[in-house]
Chain A
Amino acid sequence: MNRRAFLLSGAALVAVSVEARATPAEVARLIAALTEGARVVEGGMKLDLPLLVENGNVVAMSITVDDPPPGQHVESLHVFAEANPLPEVLHVRFGPAAARPRIATRIRLATSQSVIALAKLSDGSFRRDSVDLLVTLAACLD
């Protein structure tokens, strides 16, 4: 029973599709350019991702921002993945018809890494949350 060989046949195919990766430093630069020195508070929002990813092709993600103080609203959301081929995942700007600042979607993750989400409030400040997750590969591949 040679399970290792079975796995390797999968791994070899994956390697073909892997290109250059983003780096944490690159993501840090993008975040600095976005926040432009504004205050960034850890928390006050929830980035929801599974800690253990079954398949990096389809990872359920949701972002919920706690209600901001009266008179303020959430202007935008920004998601970055530190080790994807491209560090940017999604930018969302909310308009006046939006209700609770919550979105859900599905994303691709090339490997185990940190995903970072920022929410911009109307006073110019930011909130931030991040998740470190482990991506496992499926055994059978095309």
Chain B
Amino acid sequence: MARTLINVKKTLTRGEAFEIRLLIAHPMESGQRRDSNGQVIARDIINRFSCTYNDMLVLEATLFPAISANPYLSFWAVATETGSIVMTWTDDHGTVQTERVEVTVSA
């Protein structure tokens, strides 16, 4: 399946609060489930997430196994300048993924 679905309004007015919404394809295997042979299925979750807007932090989060599979996140930033929103997350294997969205801001 696709890695991510990101929804952000691409053209903004300075000072406007805008929503950043994303879905990430990930099993978020909790480490608490057992397979049909009774073996614990190894934990495999996205444990860190961060979002910056023109290199300024919007938020960073620590995620636990209680976050549902295919994580959904929605949060808000303030439009300042035209530029990029960069989202980065890390899973239990240490794999880092980055997605970028460009936004245009008018006065």
Contact = CB atoms under 8 A, between A and B. Distances in A.
Direct contact of A and B (CB under 8 A): yes
Contacts of A59: 68
A58 interface: yes
B66 A95 contact: no
A29 interface: no
B56 A90 contact: no
A86 B68 CA distance: 14
Nearest to A101: B76
Interface residues of B, number: 33
B75 A102 contact: yes
Contacts of B62: 90-92
Q: How large is the interface on A (under 10, 10 to 19, 20 to 34, 35 or more residues)?
A: 20 to 34
Contacts, number: 105
Nearest to B49: A92
B76 A88 contact: no
Interface string A55-96: 001110010000000000000000001001110111111111
A64 to B, nearest CB: 10
Contact of B76 (A86, A90, A100, A106): A100
Contacts of A98: 57-59, 75-78
B73 A104 contact: yes
Contacts of A91: 61-62
B57 A107 contact: no
B53 A104 contact: no
A106 to B, nearest CB: 4
Contacts of B66: 81, 84, 86, 88-90, 107-109
Interface of B: 17-18, 30, 32-34, 38, 52-54, 56-69, 71-78, 80
Interface of A: 16-17, 19, 57-59, 62, 81, 84-86, 88-100, 102-109
23 contacts: A17-B32, A62-B74, A81-B66, A86-B66, A88-B66, A89-B66, A90-B62, A92-B59, A92-B62, A95-B56, A95-B60, A97-B54, A97-B58, A98-B77, A99-B78, A100-B76, A103-B59, A104-B72, A105-B71, A105-B72, A106-B67, A108-B66, A108-B68
